[in-house]
Structure 1
């Protein structure tokens, strides 16, 4: 009843977000009957409607102008529902279908039946999709943005199809896709407008794949790169990234276990302003190299080998971290168990310009010392719990 009243009273509605509500097929029929100008619709986490709610799209004209549709976690949807959407939404350019373990290749192919304008597709945590679905998307679309995560079925075949048909792709998220290999990155390297790339947890990517990327067509475009937990990547890749990716702003190297202190030194003189070294085997000597990188944000969470010495030594990191840096704005040193109150006394010197500090699970830092920094920054997080329990909880979330 409420949705019917809203849609009847607001016929010019352009944006409607009904995420996590109890809407049913009756609500969808009212929306598509009354809101002829609707452009954005989110039904994420709504589980009470069925395919039948979209059947009216084959006769009504209420979704002809719809460009964005979010159906995340709507696992009750079948191929029939997606076929109705395709028939009734010819202007659809952005679809978000995340967290859908039931999503199959047939559902995706049904959506592509009449949707020829797609430029953005998000399929995070849809584990049942295969190369069939991705090849279908590639052939039917000219994508600018594509996201997929938590899928171990897609292979090099998908990346070859996607990159060859969507040369204008500028954002690619492919985290936790074990089927991505060095050959996959060779196809990705052909993209000329790629600005954002996330291949975290792609365990088969090695230095050879990073070399393809840094020799590719987007070396002057890429500004965000995440290779977190790519366990085969070594310092050689960091050297190539620093030298070849001349406009890179953010680099995530977290939990790359083969990286050593020289990897940080290799970044000297690069364009990087945001760096994540969480869980790396970086020691005090590596931290000292930060003084030659104009960082605004540094994440050192779970760098358990960093000590007070690394934070204060006058010929090393203190030149960067505690001598009034004009660049650093955000610092995360969560889980660095060897840091003590002594380090915080030095950090006070750069608050401001340092505005955000996170030191959760720092078991050797006292509350009394930590609270003294709170008034000096706009964002402050602190806890002295056991690091293993803290980060196990974060990983599960």
Structure 2
């Protein structure tokens, strides 16, 4: 009878199916199961109108012969067909109904979602309106407070100006009265000798002290000092001041006439002469150099006017010469031929980047008496030298102790082997940018008792070279192997037993980690180490830095630049190194806490924290409060720093000589005003990328930083070219452009990060 109930529910579609089923069940129980038919639960109004089918039609439908009669099986078959058709119809209607209800629910759900979004937007609009109102009120309060602070500052500043003006006016009155009294005394003839001495004596410093001061000024300043008074003029004529003449400090001003006059007047006293970069000097000056019979140290580097003929004029009289620098000049084999005969006592020779002499010229070094006393030789950048050239050097200068061969991409192991065959007294070697040297070079140098090794930019040197140093160089003190990619922790472990290492530089050796550095620090040289450079050793962590703080008590220089795994925990351990004066923590993960701990040290003179994104004004303020000796500070690319950081530096660190705030977009003219007001020893400043600086900043520097020599102002679009020409004309070097900051600085032309 379940088919009866299902048919009733499908066709009748009652609002309460349960009540409907209960009623029909009671009806079936009353009538009995024998009276159950499939349509008894369907209202009579919904019954289809059935037509009686005649027997002839039935015969046609069921394919009966004329003599066949309807059977029970045929009726059952007809009944089943009709039932299935009816059920299919009912199910189709029910599915259609269900889909309709589902669509209604879906539309209702979408409408609810739209209403919810509308409600949220409405609530957000109300919140933004209230927040905007609060911000406006806050801005007004801040503006009122700033106006009040500005009024107080202006009043204080005005009081200070009036006080200073009053003091100056009082001094002027006293000076005027003093000179009036002098005039009266001169008229009455009552002028005493003591008054004259007071009149001409500019200070109470003794002459010996003034002479020591004059030793540190350049020629321009010395000439100005001579014009102060008669006493100073006589002091500037002292022969001891002219034993060391440095024309390089005024290279852009000195001319032949000036140089000739000075050299001629002071030729008996001159011992050291520096003409580096003096491109305006020619043969008259070089001829006067030949008259300086006592000259011992001559620097002619970058002198464009120097030629072989000029060197001939010099060589005629300077036979006492010990040190000669001819780097970056155009001398040829003719000059090298003069050296052995003209300078028999020569000990120091630099031919760096001289490209016009040949292997034959080096052969002259051993001709005649030869340069057998030569101890220092610099052939950096002389790419024309072959193996034969080095063999010629070895034959003529077997006593060489210091050898520099930088920037020689064609330098090979054979060149060093040819040199070391006879030059076995070499103690110091420098091979920067010589990529073809290998462990064979250090095998050849095994016979030399090396004290200093410096090699950079080489991918052939391996840990085997460190093993050779450990075995053959027990007294080595300086190891520089920067950017040597094949050096690993095993190499550092190998040299850990050495007892005299003072300097270790493994910058850009990216395979170095705690596993090698900690055993080295714990080794024999850890307690004696003075300088340690770990730049870009990305696997170094706080564990190694802590070990350094515990063991390296004599360390003065530490570079952890780009050691990104170093954090505040490691930096705090450095506070126990009382000798530390220079530390570079650029691009590390330190924050204000680590900087505060480092500030308690109190003796740091040089600090680098460029690209430290976690440093804020608070960290700089805390560091500067504990450090009064800071001289060089580099805080480039710290976009979160503001004028307050520079204000703290200027207030606490008056000895600053070099400052870099490049890439700090929040800096304004106020920070430059702070520096100019107190940092009078400043000679280097980099403000590149400080987009808010204007011409006022240059005016402050022009007034306050009289010793400034180098100023970088790249990407400063608010500084005009007119101001640059006006206020930086006397600087030795300045760089400026008004282009937009590049993308690598991390912010746009408006300072937005």
- Give the TM-score normalised by the residue count of structure 1: 0.91
1:296 is matched with which residue: 590, 605, 616? 605
Once the 2 structures are TM-superposed, how far is the Cα of residue 357 of structure 1 from its aligned partner?
A: 2.9
**Secondary structure of 2:549 counterpart:** helix
Once the 2 structures are TM-superposed, how far is the Cα of residue 170 of structure 1 from its aligned partner?
A: 0.8
Matched, 1:347 2:655: no
Structure 1 residues 289, 93: CA separation in 2 closer, same or farther (over 3 Å shift)? Answer: same
Q: Distance in 2 between matches of 1:181 and 1:100?
A: 25
1:253 is matched with which residue: 549, 560, 577? 560
Paired position in structure 1 for 2:481: 174
Deviates more, 1:72-81 or 1:368-377: 368-377
Q: Distance in 1 between matches of 2:480 and 2:333?
A: 33
**Secondary structure of 2:382 counterpart:** coil
Matches within 5 A, 1:266-285: 266-271=573-578, 272-285=580-593
Higher helix share: 2
2:676 is matched with which residue: 374, 392, 396? 374
Matched, 1:16 2:324: yes
Structure 1 residues 329, 59: CA separation in 2 closer, same or farther (over 3 Å shift)? Answer: closer
Paired position in structure 1 for 2:444: 136
Q: Distance in 2 between matches of 1:388 and 1:93?
A: 48
Paired position in structure 2 for 1:394: none
**Secondary structure of 1:210 counterpart:** helix
1:383 is matched with which residue: 684, 687, 701? 687
Does the CA contact (< 8 Å) of 1:186 and 1:213 recur in 2? yes
Once the 2 structures are TM-superposed, how far is the Cα of residue 298 of structure 1 from its aligned partner?
A: 1.5
Does the CA contact (< 8 Å) of 2:404 and 2:430 recur in 1? yes
**Secondary structure of 2:372 counterpart:** coil
Q: Distance in 2 between matches of 1:336 and 1:173?
A: 30
Paired position in structure 2 for 1:90: 398
Does the CA contact (< 8 Å) of 1:37 and 1:62 recur in 2? no
Matched, 1:336 2:614: no
Does the CA contact (< 8 Å) of 1:17 and 1:43 recur in 2? yes
Matched, 1:239 2:546: yes
Does the CA contact (< 8 Å) of 2:545 and 2:574 recur in 1? yes
Matches within 5 A, 1:1-397: 1-137=309-445, 139-271=446-578, 272-294=580-602, 295-312=604-621, 318=622, 320-321=623-624, 323=625, 325-377=627-679, 378-379=681-682, 380-385=684-689, 386=741
Question: Structure 2: which 5+ runs fail to align?
Answer: 1-308, 690-740, 747-753
Q: Distance in 1 between matches of 2:364 and 2:650?
A: 63
Q: Distance in 2 between matches of 1:158 and 1:273?
A: 31
**Secondary structure of 1:202 counterpart:** coil
Question: Structure 1: which 5+ runs fail to align?
Answer: 313-317, 392-397
Deviates more, 1:381-390 or 1:37-46: 381-390
Structure 1 residues 329, 387: CA separation in 2 closer, same or farther (over 3 Å shift)? Answer: farther
Does the CA contact (< 8 Å) of 2:600 and 2:627 recur in 1? no
Q: Distance in 1 between matches of 2:743 and 2:320?
A: 53
Once the 2 structures are TM-superposed, how far is the Cα of residue 56 of structure 1 from its aligned partner?
A: 2.5
- Give the TM-score normalised by the residue count of structure 2: 0.49
Higher relative contact order (CA 8 A, sep 6+): 1
Q: Distance in 1 between matches of 2:688 and 2:664?
A: 5
Q: Distance in 2 between matches of 1:287 and 1:136?
A: 46
Deviation track 1:276-303 (CA, whole Å, cap 9, x = no partner) reads 1011122222222223323232211121
- Could you list the runs of 4 or more consecutive aligned residues of structure 1 that deviate by over 6 angstroms after TM superposition? none
Which of these two proteins has the greater Rg computed from alpha carbons? 2
Q: Distance in 1 between matches of 2:339 and 2:429?
A: 23
Once the 2 structures are TM-superposed, how far is the Cα of residue 78 of structure 1 from its aligned partner?
A: 0.4
Q: Distance in 2 between matches of 1:213 and 1:195?
A: 12
RMSD of aligned C-alpha atoms?
1.9
Deviation track 1:327-372 (CA, whole Å, cap 9, x = no partner) reads 4333221221110112223333203255543322222111342243
